[in-house]
Structure 1
C-alpha cells in the first residue's frame, strides 16, 4: 500500500494565540510524512489571518480557508474536508487542547485496521474540562451510545482520521462532527479507537456553551438515530465484467 498523503484539517475561530504554537507542533508531529495543513478560519476577528499569512510566506505546507462569517465548527470541518487533497483526513480542534502528537497515531491505526475500517476516533482520557462540562459530556456520551450503538466512548473528541472519499459521503448537518463514528458505521464501515490525553487550553475560552450544545444535541441525536434506522442494509458493490 502506498504511503497516504495526509490532510490535517483544523477548524478555528479567534484562536490566533493558540495557532502560533499549535502549528509548530503539527509540523513536528508530521515530520517525515507527506502532508498539508488546512486551517479553516470560521469568520475570526482576531489576528488569525496574519498568523497564517506569515507561516505560508515562510514556506509552511499550510492552506488558509476562510469563512466570511462564523458558521460553526461542523461547517468549518466540512469546508476543510472538501478542500483537502489528501487520501486521509485527520481533524483536530484549534484551541490547543488536542495534542498533535496523536495525529500520526490515528493515521497509522486507520491504515493498519484495513479497508473494513472507515474511521480512527480519538477517545479522551484525563479530561481537562470543568467538572460540569465533564458530567454533561459523560451523560451525553452514555445516551448517544445507548441509542446509536456507535462503539465509541467519546465521540466529541476532535481528533479523528477518516478516508477522504468516505468523509465526503457522510450526510451533513450542524453538529455532524460529533457523530462521525455512527455515520461511518451507517456506511458499512467499522471504527478503531486511539486513547488520547487532552491538554489545558493556554489562551482564550471556548466558543460554545454547555446548555446550547446540550439542547441542540437532543435533536441531532434523534436525527442520527433516524438516519441509521433508515439504512438497514449496506450491500457490497462490485462491477461484473462480461467479455
Structure 2
C-alpha cells in the first residue's frame, strides 16, 4: 500500500503544536495514503520540543526528530525526506496558513506527476510587502528557469520519496523544488489551494530571505540547470537484473 509521510519543520512554534491533532484529523480520515506526520524540530529555543514529545506520546500518527542546532528550513525538510520510509513525502508549514485537508486536492494527480504542489495565488492572506516580494521572486525565477510554476514556495507539496532524496539540497533549496524536479526530468502539477492568515507565532522571514537571497539562489539553480549531466545507455552486457542509474 502506498504511504505518505508529511514533513513539518518547526522552529519556535510552541503555540501551533497543540493545534496539529485537530488540524490533521479530517485529512487522516479521508486520505487514501495512510499518512503520518514527521515533526522536525529545527533547534527551537522555546518549549516546542517538549510539546512535540507530548503530542507524539499521545498520538501515534505523529513522530519527530530533533536537530542538534538550528540549521534552516531547507535542512529541516532534507532531514525529514532522508529519514522517511514512505512511498511519498509531503511538506507543510507549522503555521498552518495552508491546511492539511488540501492535500486531498493533490492526491488524485500523484499517479501521473512526480511532484504535486499547491498554488496560493488566488487566495493569499499575507501582508502587502510579503505578497509583493513573493511575486517579484516568482516572476524572476520563472524568467530565469522557465519552470512555469506560479507559487514555487507554496508550503503544500507531495512528491515521490525516491525523487525527493535524489535532489541537490542547499540553503534556500525549498523554494526551488519544482524547478529541480523539472531539471531532473520529473513532471510537476499545480493545484489551487486555500490560504489563511497566520494565527500563531511570528514569521521567520524578512526582506533579505524573502527577496534578495532567493534572487541570488536563482542564479545557482540556473547554473545547475545548464551544467546537469544527462545520458542514456545504448547497450550493455550487464545481467538483466542489474540497474543502471541515469
TM-score (norm 2): 0.89
> Is the 2:18–2:55 Cα contact (8 Å) retained in structure 1?
no
User: Is 1:8 the equivalent of 2:6?
Assistant: yes
Partner of 1:14, secondary structure, is coil
Alpha-carbon distance in structure 1 between the residues aligned to 2:93 and 2:102: 12
Alpha-carbon distance in structure 1 between the residues aligned to 2:231 and 2:23: 39
1:242 offset after TM fit, Å?
6.2
- What are the within-5 Å matches in structure 2 for residues 178-193 of structure 1? 178-193=175-190
> Is the 2:141–2:215 Cα contact (8 Å) retained in structure 1?
no
Partner of 2:195: 198
1:45 offset after TM fit, Å?
1.6
Alpha-carbon distance in structure 1 between the residues aligned to 2:75 and 2:124: 25
Pair 20,242 (structure 1): closer, same or farther in 2 beyond 3 Å: closer
Alpha-carbon distance in structure 2 between the residues aligned to 1:238 and 1:216: 44
Alpha-carbon distance in structure 2 between the residues aligned to 1:4 and 1:242: 27
Partner of 2:29, secondary structure, is coil
Pair 171,242 (structure 1): closer, same or farther in 2 beyond 3 Å: closer
Alpha-carbon distance in structure 1 between the residues aligned to 2:234 and 2:89: 24
Partner of 1:65, secondary structure, is strand
Partner of 1:40: 40
Of residues 180-189 and 204-213 in structure 1, the stretch that sits farther from structure 2 once superposed is 204-213
Q: 1:175 aligns with which of 172, 176, 179?
A: 172
> Is the 1:19–1:96 Cα contact (8 Å) retained in structure 2?
no
1:21 offset after TM fit, Å?
1.0
1:77 offset after TM fit, Å?
0.4
Pair 52,225 (structure 1): closer, same or farther in 2 beyond 3 Å: same
Alpha-carbon distance in structure 2 between the residues aligned to 1:61 and 1:21: 14
- What are the within-5 Å matches in structure 2 for residues 28-177 of structure 1? 28-31=26-29, 33-111=33-111, 113=112, 117-124=113-120, 125-177=122-174
Alpha-carbon distance in structure 2 between the residues aligned to 1:135 and 1:178: 16
Partner of 2:15: 17
> Is the 1:30–1:104 Cα contact (8 Å) retained in structure 2?
no
The aligned length equals 237
> Is the 1:41–1:48 Cα contact (8 Å) retained in structure 2?
yes
1:237 offset after TM fit, Å?
8.9
User: Is 1:210 the equivalent of 2:207?
Assistant: yes
Of residues 5-14 and 213-222 in structure 1, the stretch that sits farther from structure 2 once superposed is 213-222
Structure 1's unaligned 5+ residue stretches are: none
TM-score (norm 1): 0.90
Alpha-carbon distance in structure 2 between the residues aligned to 1:79 and 1:213: 22
Of residues 160-169 and 10-19 in structure 1, the stretch that sits farther from structure 2 once superposed is 10-19
Aligned-residue CA RMSD (Å): 2.1
